[in-house]
Structure 1
Amino acid sequence: MTFSLPMTRRGVLAGGAALAASLTRPATARAATPSILRAVPSTAQLAPDGYPATPVWSYATDGAGIVPGPELRVKAGDRITRRLVNDLPQSTAVHWHGIRIDNAMDGAAPLTQAPVPPGKTFDYDFVAPDPGTYWYHSHDRGYEQVARGLAGPLIVEDRTPWLGEDGAATREMTLVLDDWLLNADAALVENFDSLHAASHAGRLGNTVTVNGTAYPDLPLRPGERVRLRLINTATARVMPISFGGLRARLIALDGHPVAPRAVDTVLLGPAQRADVVIDAASAQDARGSLLLDPGNGGAVEVAGFPNQGDPMAGTQDDVRPLPAWGNLPTPDLADPQRETLLMEGGAMRGFSEATYDGETLGFRELASRGMVWAFNGIAHGMDAPMFRAPRGRTVHLSMTNRTAFAHAIHLHGHHFRIESKTATAETHGDIRDTALVGPDETLEVAFVADNPGRWMIHCHMLEHQQSGMMGWFDVA
């Protein structure tokens, strides 16, 4: 797969133009007054120093909004209560991405709740059952609102200690990776409805930030072992990430632990997360790097890891595995319910016809209505479920991509196991909530439909979602 990124290390804006178990809630009482999560217009210094601040939309818990949004951190099994206050000029809603959550709290407007109008509020109240790295973001006009900055990290800590234990890390960093399309004045390019972008790879930016900053330095102590929680919050950018000068081992994907394994590169599609343990070099003047392949096989440093401070007693011990979840049901593939998801459309492939809003239309007429993608021959299929599954049933889902572009397919309310043994971007046996499916690839996954409700399934290239790649399934 090839992913293009029109970006250089510095001076990216030069030239005067933009580059083209049970999930039931415990019986504890609800909080009388939930903590506030406010969606507000704000500004952020996204471009390098010397450029103006960028007008954004952002989340705030206290004071002004920040990009990314404030880190929300709880322990597994804790309740999260947040009152969304909408101070934006549009309606909005918050989706708690990756959390196996009560359906009514999923934030997938308009399926699970009505969008929250400007000036109004909505109370979210749910339990976070599983430890791991998650995030929250707008799920109403997400292709625009996430691109404007409405996203933040949600960290659910392990029930039993891991940090500081033998073989584990001594500290951790949450690194939110984002991709922004800025003009020469560092303002957002406001072509959020671009059908050209939607029919290709999506809205690809020209500035990558780590925790809202372009090219930050993140100091390590010599010999230190650190857990990185990597989150790709971009609306379209697929991010191949490597760790120049650092020994790296993968320990979790989309919040779920994996047996620690050495990695040179971690491929993060939009919405995907990876927890990686790195070991700093022992030399006082050493420097590591967080590198992004811009799509040409090269590497751009998007963050530096300079060694600073007193050395630590480094270890070459194997990395300690994360505690197991212990509550994710195992799919029974002896006689599963078999379902398919066929992806069609987009530039360079298209389709002859698809159904939209109850009508069967040709590609040109669909495009005139903003629809250029389809699932199973249906564009923007929200009128009826893609499939229904009784609660507790194992579902085997075969996802076939007949398009010229990769798609990050996200299932709400569930994690699934990768069953394909030859997938380009995914590894057999891993547990995920978002899977990257390459062009002309079929990816097979399986999950137990144990969380009742109506759950969205969509491409997390959010322009693809908006222009047809969305549907839902029903767990009875």
Structure 2
Amino acid sequence: MADRIFRLDRRDLLAGLGATALAPALPSIAAAQARPTLALQAKASVIALRPGAPATPIWTLEGAAFRFKRGETLEVTLANGLPVPAVASWRGLDGVPAAEPLATRAPLASAARETLVIPLRHAGTFLCDLRLLGDGQARPSRALPLIVSESEPVAVDRDEVLLIEDWRLRPDGSAIAPGLDPGDTVPAYTINGLAVLDIPARVHQRLRLRFINGCQRTTIAVKIENHDVRVMALDGQPAEPFLARGGALVLAPGTRIDAFVDATAAPGTNSSILLHDGKDARPIARLVTSAEPALRAGPLPAALPLPSNGLPARLDLKSALRVDLSLGGPPADWVTPANFAISAAPAFRAKAGRIVVLALTNRAAIPTVFHLHGHHFRLLDRLDDGWKPFWLDTLAIDPGQTQRIAFAAEFAGRWLIESVATDWAAPRLVRWYSVE
């Protein structure tokens, strides 16, 4: 039934897309004492993926808190309780070279601990995971969302994070890591670790729903029945608000979309939230409208854009550094993260402040996902005469297709780029680029 309501194929999924002598030091000491902290632990865990059956062993990244404010400086400690080296990879975190995996930070040995300091210069929806080294490991791992709130108030009644992840289960109920042949496994999906999630709401309540595709390789679409869905941010950066086409949100692996939804259904009704993976549609959550009186007399007015994070309003493409990058096909200069070496030649070098245009051509036979570390980019129009009204850090590209992206190389450092085909067995591949 759900499939008849919400029918998409793979191409549709990719189209939508711190005494007087010490006085000078006191401010910094006070600042350090007030600095928020995030304690992360990589550890073994379990997750319930089969009703009535034992939980499935997995690895996970757990944190004691995950909501912070823009402008704060976050002190992060990672303890590796896994039997293998681990590296935390931050998706959406611009301009923090000290946190860059592999290119700056080596994998953390088993039973070791490390600390880093991250300035939270941008508000938005972020993601941290262990998956850069996850291919072929003994168990798959969960991701951890990180939310940085805007400095200015945002007119919403509730703010909810919806982390969607996929799993491949063997007949015995164990789960395999990506990069392995899925064989006779079957797919399973969770939202915030549950098979199905209820999201309560009152009539005329405005919800900010932060959808995160934490899937390993799968591009998904999410549709909320009987409600308008207004896209407010993509990959952690504010966008010009727009209504999702057909009410469906398309998310490549690692993509984050912030959407505003006004509860408009009749009191006491449920609206399904459907997930489509290009093959099947299934209910993964419900928007449950309370029978209580409406929160207010009428709906809120149309939402204004979210406060800017200060990314440039315009990019001068005429004097841009232009680079062609091939994705998929023979590995060539691409390597698996386990074989990454900073001594390898970078994909390109750019002077700080230079505009860079990348022509990304997918030579694989299936869609491929590109992810840029360190900076967000604009997706250019076909004729290079403009760009889409949003910023991205992740982009899915159809086979044989070339997409052009542009970004201001604002932050000096060594940064990764990632490429992975949308197939469970496909290896994750990396290169690096330099901003000098």
Name which of 400, 404, 420 aligns with 1:444. 404
Could you tell me whether the CA contact under 8 Å between 1:222 and 1:307 is conserved in 2?
Answer: yes
Structure 1 residues 187 and 405: CA distance shift in structure 2, 3 A: same
Alpha-carbon deviations, 1:164-190, whole Å to 9, x = none? xxxx32111100010011233432135
Which residue among 205, 209, 218 is the counterpart of 1:228?
A: 209
Write the letter of the residue equivalent to 2:61: Y
Q: Residue 341 of structure 1 aligns to which amino acid in structure 2?
A: L
**For residue 269 of structure 2, what is the amino acid of its counterpart?**
A
Q: Which residue of 2 aligns with 1:307?
A: 289
Equivalent residue number for residue 213 of structure 1: 194
Structure 2 counterpart of 1:20:
none
Does the 8 Å contact 1:52/1:185 carry over to 2? no
- The CA distance in 1 between the partners of 2:314 and 2:419, in whole Å, is 25
Q: Is the 8 A contact 2:73 2:120 kept in 1?
A: yes
The answer to whether the 8 A contact 2:214-2:253 is kept is yes
Q: State the SS of the aligned residue for 1:181.
A: strand
**Are the structure 2 counterparts of residues 145 and 157 from structure 1 closer, same or farther at C-alpha, using a change threshold of 3 Å?**
farther
**Number of matched pairs:** 404
Q: 1:44 aligns with which of 41, 44, 47?
A: 47
For residue 468 of structure 1, report the CA deviation from its aligned partner: 6.4
**1:172 aligned partner:** 159
Give the aligned partner of residue 326 of structure 1: 310
| Unaligned segments of structure 1, at least 5 residues | 5-25, 63-70, 163-167, 346-350, 358-369, 372-378
Looking at structure 1, the residues matched to 319 and 193 of structure 2 have their Cα atoms a distance apart, in angstroms, of 47
8 Å CA contact retained: 2:61, 2:129:
no
Q: Does the residue aligned with 1:104 lie in a helix, a strand or coil?
A: helix
Alpha-carbon distance in 1 for matches of 2:104, 2:424: 21
- Partner of residue 453 from structure 1, selected from 406, 413, 416: 413
Q: Is the 8 A contact 1:451 1:475 kept in 2?
A: yes
Hey, what's the Cα distance between the residues in 1 that align with 2:184 and 2:113?
30
Alignment check: 8 A CA contact 2:206 2:300 kept: no
Structure-2 change in CA distance of 1:336 and 1:101 (3 Å) = closer
Correspondence list, 1:10-89, <5 A: 30=32, 35-47=38-50, 49-61=51-63, 72-89=66-83
Cα deviation for residue 219 of structure 1 reads 1.8
Provide, for residues 395-436 of structure 1, a one-character-per-residue CA deviation record: whole Å limited to 9, x for no partner: 01111112221122111100011113499xxx8232111111
Structure 2 CA distance for partners of 1:438 and 1:51, relative to 1, 3 Å: same
Q: CA deviation at 1:243?
A: 1.2
Greater Cα shift, 427-436 or 269-278: 427-436
Work out the CA distance in 2 between the residues paired with 1:143 and 1:158. Answer: 35
Q: Which position in structure 1 is the counterpart of 2:18?
A: none
8 A contact 2:179–2:426 mirrored in 1: no
How far is the alpha carbon of 1:33 from its aligned partner?
10
Q: Identify which of 335, 338, 342 aligns with 2:319.
A: 335
Return 5+ residue gaps in structure 2 as ranges. 1-7, 12-26
Q: 1:272 to 1:356 in 2, by over 3 A?
A: closer
Please give the alpha-carbon distance, in whole angstroms, between the structure 2 residues aligned to 1:276 and 1:332. Answer: 30
Indicate the residue corresponding to 1:417 in structure 2: 378
CA shift, 1:282, in A, is 4.0
Structure 1 Cα separation of the partners of residues 242 and 39 of structure 2: 39
Pick aligned residue for 2:85 from 73, 87, 91:
91
Q: CA deviation at 1:280?
A: 1.7
Q: Which residue of 2 aligns with 1:67?
A: none
Identity %: 30
Moved more, 31-40 or 311-320: 31-40
Name the SS of the counterpart of 1:430 in structure 2: coil
For residue 199 of structure 2, give the secondary structure of its aligned residue in structure 1. Answer: coil
Q: Write the distance in 2 (CA, Å) between the matches of 1:472 and 1:306.
A: 45
AA of the residue aligned to 1:215 = V
> Which of 140, 147, 152 is the matching residue for 1:160?
152
CA–CA separation in structure 1 for the residues paired with 2:383 and 2:158: 35
Is residue 389 from structure 1 mapped to residue 350 from structure 2 by the alignment?
A: yes
Is the contact between residue 367 and residue 422 of structure 2 (CA under 8 Å) also seen in structure 1? no
1:384 deviates by 1.1
